[in-house]
Chain A
Amino acid sequence: MTASTPASRATTLIATLTGLAASWIAFDLLVFGYGASPSHIFALLLAGTWGTPYGIGQVLFKATPLLFTGIAVDIALRAGLFNIGAEGQLVVASLAVGVVGTHLPMGVSPWLALPILAVTAAAAGGAWASLPAVLRAKYGAHEVISTIMMNGIASALVGLLFGFGLSLKGTVRMADIVPGARLPRLEAIVPAFRGSASSVAIVVAIALAFATSFAFARMRAAREITLVGLNPVACAAEHIPVARRIGQAFIVSGAIAGLASLGTVLGYKGYFEAGLGAGAGFGGLAVALLGQGSAVGLVLAALLFGTLQQGGLAINAVVPMTVMDVLQGVVIVAVGLADARVRAAVARMAGRGGAP
Chain B
Amino acid sequence: MSIVLAIVSLTMIAQTLRMAIPYACAALAGVTSERSGVVNIALEGMLLAGGLGGIVAHVATGSAVAGVLAGAAVGAALGLVHGVVVVVGRVNAIVSGLALNLVAAGGTRFILRALYDSSSNSPTVPGFRIASLSGASGGLLLVRTLVDPFLLITLVLTLTLAFVLTRTRFGLRLRACGEDPVAAASVGVAVARVRVVAVTVGGALAGLGGVALAYDQHQFQAGMSGGRGFIALAAVILAGWRPGYAVAACAAFAALDALQIVLQDQPWVPGSLVQMLPYLATLVALFVVARRLSRGDAASSAPPAGLGKHES
Contacts and interface: CB of A to CB of B under 8 A. Distances in A.
Interface of B: prevailing SS: helix
Interface in B266-299: 270-273, 275-276, 278-280, 282-283, 286-287, 289-291, 293-294
Given A139-B290, A160-B270, A145 B234 contact: yes
Contact of A157 (B234, B276, B287): B276
A333 B291 CA distance: 34
A323 B106 contact: yes
Nearest to B233: A145
Nearest to B222: A322
A153 interface: yes
Interface residue SS majority, chain A = helix
Contacts of B273: 156, 160
Contacts of A145: 230, 233-234, 237, 282, 286
Contact of A141 (B101, B278, B290): B290
Interface in A18-72: 34
A118 B99 CA distance: 31
A153 B283 CA distance: 10
Interface stretch (A185-193, A201-209, A256-264, A324-332): A324-332
Contact of A139 (B41, B85, B102, B294): B294
Given A340-B89, A340-B90, A356-B312, A332 B110 contact: no
Contacts of B286: 135, 141-142, 145-146, 149
B113 interface: yes
Chain B's interface size range is 35 or more
A153 B294 contact: no
A70 to B, nearest CB: 14
Contacts of A82: 94
Contact of B110 (A141, A149, A152, A326): A326
Interface string A117-135: 0000000000000010001
B114 interface: yes
B109 interface: yes
A77 B283 CA distance: 22
A330 B291 contact: no
A336 B280 contact: no
B283 A336 contact: no
Given A139-B294, A322-B110, A329-B106, A153 B279 contact: yes
A282 B113 contact: no
Interface string A83-118: 010000000000000000000000000000000000
Contacts of A285: 98
B237 A332 contact: no
Contacts of B110: 320, 322-323, 325-326
A160 B294 contact: no
B103 interface: yes
Contacts of A156: 272-273, 275-276, 279
B287 A135 contact: yes
A159 interface: yes
Interface in B233-252: 233-234, 237
B102 A320 contact: no
B276 A322 contact: no
Nearest to A132: B283
Contacts of A327: 106
Nearest to B303: A142
A48 B168 CA distance: 58
Contacts of B99: 286, 329-330, 332-333, 336
A330 B293 contact: no
Interface of B: 41, 85, 89-92, 94-96, 98-103, 105-107, 109-110, 113-114, 227, 230, 233-234, 237, 270-273, 275-276, 278-280, 282-283, 286-287, 289-291, 293-294, 312
13 contacts: A84-B98, A142-B286, A145-B282, A146-B283, A163-B271, A325-B109, A325-B110, A326-B110, A329-B103, A332-B98, A332-B99, A332-B102, A341-B89
Given A146-B283, A152-B227, 15 more contacts: A139-B290, A140-B290, A141-B286, A149-B282, A156-B273, A160-B273, A322-B107, A322-B113, A324-B106, A326-B103, A332-B95, A333-B91, A340-B90, A344-B90, A356-B312
